[in-house]
């Protein structure tokens, strides 16, 4: 009798687990229809925690509609448009790489970069002798410390990342550098 009862209990357990998995799958699919990001995440969290959904979802909403050839073409066009947008966004990130260089203390850097090359637009001296360097790309950098370097207008400089979020400015082709910080 016991030998016959064990397979029967195992069968009931497997059937119950399969039914629970089907319910969880349906609940997870129902969460995809929630438009608000926070509410959708909350829905997923509630399903995974075993809580019931706040709103019952009809079976019609869960099933995926069959696509016609026109809908399939529209989906393909949408995918291609998304790829084009992604390409344009990556080009824009490369453009803004030089614009954001040195602003990590103000906002998070979008792209890891180690140095930029730029041409000096103007060089001014601050009251205590520090240099204020304006570059042609619109960036303004101020010397930190008392090291000396002779900068001229229209000279190419390299600003590279140092340790502890510091920056070093040097003239192209020379080894001497000064510490600088971005002021704009």
Every domain of the chain and the residues it spans: 2-64, 115-182
Stronger pLDDT, 171 or 66, i.e. the higher one: 171
Say if residue 179 is exposed, middle or buried (CB neighbours under 10 Å; 0-12, 13-18, 19+). Answer: middle
Model pLDDT for residues 61-108, shown as the tens digit of each residue:
444 444 455 444 544 555 555 556 656 666 666 556 667 777 766 554
What rounded mean pLDDT belongs to the chain? 74
Distance, in Å, from the CA atom of 151 to the CA atom of 173, rounded to the nearest integer, reads: 13
Distance, in Å, from the CA atom of 43 to the CA atom of 38, rounded to the nearest integer, reads: 9
Average pLDDT over residues 106-129: 80
Distance, in Å, from the CA atom of 172 to the CA atom of 119, rounded to the nearest integer, reads: 10
6: CB partners within 8 A, 6+ apart: none
Judge: domain 115-182, CATH 2.40.50: yes
Question: Two tokens at 124?
Answer: 């001014």
Stronger pLDDT, 119 or 23, i.e. the higher one: 119
Instruction: Give the C-alpha distances (Å, rounded to integers) separating 180 from 79, 121, 176.
Output: 45, 16, 13
Model pLDDT for residues 21-54, shown as the tens digit of each residue:
666 788 888 888 888 888 888 888 888 887 654 4
Taking residue 47's Cβ as centre, other Cβ atoms within 10 Å add up to 20
Q: Has residue 137 got a pLDDT over 80? A: yes
With a threshold of 0.75, does the pTM exceed it? no
Say if residue 27 is exposed, middle or buried (CB neighbours under 10 Å; 0-12, 13-18, 19+). Answer: buried
């Amino acid at each position: 009798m016991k030998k016959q009862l064990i397979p029967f209990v195992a069968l009931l357990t497997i059937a119950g687990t399969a039914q629970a998995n089907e319910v969880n799958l349906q609940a997870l699919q129902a969460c995809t229809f929630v438009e608000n990001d926070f509410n959708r995440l909350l829905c997923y969290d509630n399903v995974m925690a075993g809580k019931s959904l706040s709103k019952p979802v009809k079976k019609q909403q869960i099933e995926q509609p069959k696509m016609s050839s026109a809908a399939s073409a529209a989906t393909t066009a949408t995918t291609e448009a998304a790829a084009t947008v992604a390409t344009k966004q990556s080009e824009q990130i490369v453009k803004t790489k030089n614009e954001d260089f040195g602003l990590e203390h103000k906002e998070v850097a979008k792209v890891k970069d180690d140095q930029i090359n730029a041409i000096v637009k103007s060089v001014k001296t601050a009251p205590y002798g520090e240099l204020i360097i304006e570059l042609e790309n619109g960036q303004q950098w101020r010397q930190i410390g008392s090291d000396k370097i002779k900068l001229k207008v229209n000279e190419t400089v390299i600003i590279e990342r140092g340790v502890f979020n510091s920056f070093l400015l040097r003239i192209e082709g020379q080894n001497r550098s000064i510490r600088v910080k971005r002021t704009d």
